[in-house]
């Protein structure tokens, strides 16, 4: 017997929202991650322009379970630079949390249960 998730991508939150709308029991665990990355850029005409920028990504790490099957989905909520001001970093966190809250609302509306976490 093939599983519910077998043979399909199921790589978006919307895919699991659709399953829940169909009446399937969908369980969810939420994790949050700050990942450091280096963005390569074309060097500029001035000394201030570097060829690499140190950045961070704030992402949600979702593990959905439907029956005995599970899928992991990552969604980036905001990107920022390591050299940004404290005010800019706080603003990025607020933006990420607002976007996260919109997804939480969509998941709760279809009765997918989980524990809320914030950046």
Q: What separation in angstroms does the CA of 27 have from each of 2, 43, 83, 85, 95?
A: 19, 46, 38, 38, 26
Residue 66 is inside which H or E element, if any?
Answer: strand 52-66
Q: Are 56 and 82 in contact (CB under 8 A)?
A: yes
pLDDT tens-digit map of 37-81 = 998 776 665 555 667 889 999 999 999 999 899 999 999 999 999
CB count in 10 Å sphere of residue 62: 20
Using a 10 angstrom Cβ sphere, with 0-12 exposed, 13-18 middle and 19 or more buried, the burial of residue 2 is exposed
Q: What is the pLDDT of residues 90-103, one digit of tens each?
A: 999 999 999 999 99
């Amino acid at each position: 017997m093939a599983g519910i998730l077998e043979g399909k991508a199921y790589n978006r939150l919307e895919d699991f929202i659709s399953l829940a709308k169909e009446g399937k029991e969908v369980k969810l665990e939420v994790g949050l991650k700050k990942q450091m990355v280096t963005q390569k850029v074309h060097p500029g005409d001035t000394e201030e322009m570097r060829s690499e920028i140190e950045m961070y990504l704030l992402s949600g790490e979702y593990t959905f379970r439907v029956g005995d099957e599970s899928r992991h989905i990552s969604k980036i909520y905001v990107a920022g630079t390591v050299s940004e001001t404290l005010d800019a970093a706080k603003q990025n966190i607020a933006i990420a949390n607002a976007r996260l809250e919109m997804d939480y609302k969509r998941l709760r509306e279809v009765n997918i249960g989980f524990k809320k976490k914030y950046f």
